[in-house]
Amino acid sequence: MAKLIALLGAGALILGFAQANPPTTEAPATVTVAAATVQASAARKTVALTFDDGPSKYTPQILDILRRNKVKATFCMLGNNAGSYKKTAKRIVREGHRVCNHSRNHADFTTLSTSAARSQVVWTQRKIKKVTGRTPHVFRFPYGSSNSRTRAVVRDEGLRIVGWTVDTRDWSRPGTSTIVSRAVGKTRPGGVILMHDGGGNRSQSVAALDKIFKRLKAKGYTFVLA
Ligand SMILES: [Zn+2]
């Protein structure tokens, strides 16, 4: 009986929407699907924060801010930098962040032979494992630049390819407030934010983080690994 009342209640609700939106006979089904979609995405209001091109001398400051904000992030490291900043690479793993392979030296993979592409991926896998004790399971192409051949190489090595949905362009140093407004304004549920902890002066990226966390958390986002 309770089930019947619930069904009648749902029917009345749909009918109410249908009367408000009379043009198509499909309206009740459409309304039901839309409501379900909204509920599902509200339950999954997550965003992943990713840092590329490190580790560098800026990474420890970023790790301090992440720890203070209780946020875990994904670090797409260059193999060469993992070798140059071993202590920081180890700290990334120790503090619960995810390591991601971003090639040995930021090569544009569309210009590489298949064997050169494989060597970039494999060398970096081994270097990150040797330095941190952790083997990456994810890979991000430098410049996001790939083709079907190099994507096949990465997948052959057992790696999942990570892209992004929000490009802060923090590397171009547009000012801290611009980095914050891009990160917050363009984030949608399930998004992936691209920032940089290496490759140049990253003081603006560092300065933007507290505000990004505060404003995205105020919007109901939780941070997940990419
Ligand atoms: Zn990069």
Check if the beta carbon of residue 51 is closer than 8 Å to that of residue 62.
yes
Walk me through the domains of the chain, giving residue ranges and CATH numbers: 2-43 (no CATH), 46-224 (3.20.20.370)
Residue 95 near residue 55, CB atoms below 8 Å = no
User: Is the pLDDT assigned to residue 125 strictly greater than 90?
Assistant: yes
Question: What is the predicted pLDDT for the residue at 10?
Answer: 39
Ligand 1: centre distance to CA 216 (Å): 24
Predicted confidence at residue 176, as pLDDT, reads: 98
Q: Which two tokens stand for residue 109?
A: 């993979």
Q: What is the pLDDT of residue 43?
A: 61
pLDDT of residue 14: 36
CA distance 168 to 147: 24
In this prediction, residue 21 carries a pLDDT of 37
**Ligand 1 mean position to 19 CA, how many Å?**
53
Nearest Cα neighbor of 50 from 179, 223, 189, 194 is 194
Mean pLDDT, rounded, for 166-171: 98
The pLDDT, as a whole number, for residue 44 is: 81
Q: Are 81 and 53 in contact (CB under 8 A)?
A: yes
- Residue-wise pLDDT tens digits, 194-203: 999 999 999 9
Alpha carbons 109 and 78: distance in angstroms, whole number: 14
Name the active-site residue from 52, 53, 170, 197: 52
pLDDT digits (tens, 9 = 90+) for 152-162: 999 999 999 99
- 67 Cα–ligand 1 center, Å: 23
Residue pLDDT, tens place only, 21-79: 333 333 333 334 444 444 554 568 999 999 999 999 999 999 999 999 999 999 999 99
**What's the rounded mean pLDDT across residues 145-152?**
98
At residue 26, the pLDDT reads: 35
Catalytic residue list contains 106? no
Distance separating alpha carbons of residues 74 and 138, to the nearest angstrom:
9
Q: Does the active-site annotation cover 97?
A: no
Q: What is the pLDDT of residue 222?
A: 97
Residue 6 or 145, more confident: 145
